[in-house]
Amino acid sequence: MKKNMGPADRIIRVIIAAIMTALYFSGTVTGTLGIALIALSFIFVLTSLVSFCPLYLPFGLSTLRKKMVSKN
């Protein structure tokens, strides 16, 4: 797996996952939608940990900056 997520993307995903988890455990979102949010939160955290998003592949997307190489 080639990394395709930059640091900002990873941080945003973890923040969104924390918000979704808080909504579920506070009782704001319940039932099937709540379970779906928890599953999506898990996926967001997992993809952030490995710095790879499989949904970016078909579209050729990457939020990872390429390192600049100097020609000295």
Condensed to tens digits (0 to 9), the pLDDT of residues 21-62 reads 999 999 999 999 999 999 999 999 999 999 999 999 999 999
Residue 60 located in a structural domain: no
Q: Kindly tell me if the per-residue pLDDT of 6 is higher than 80.
A: yes
Say if CB 20 and CB 37 are below 8 A apart. yes
**pTM of the model as a whole:** 0.84
**At 14, is the pLDDT very low, low, confident or very high (cuts 50, 70, 90)?**
very high
Residue 63 located in a structural domain: no
Domain count, the chain: 1
Q: Kindly tell me if the per-residue pLDDT of 8 is higher than 90.
A: yes
Say if CB 15 and CB 44 are below 8 A apart. no
Domain around 20:
7-51
Rounded distance between C-alpha atoms, residue 42 and residue 9, angstroms: 15
Residue 64 located in a structural domain: no
Residue 30 located in a structural domain: yes
Q: What is the pLDDT of residue 69?
A: 59
Angle at 33 between CA 19 and CA 42, to 5 degrees: 50
Say if CB 33 and CB 60 are below 8 A apart. no
Residues 6+ away with beta carbon under 8 Å from 9: 48, 53, 63
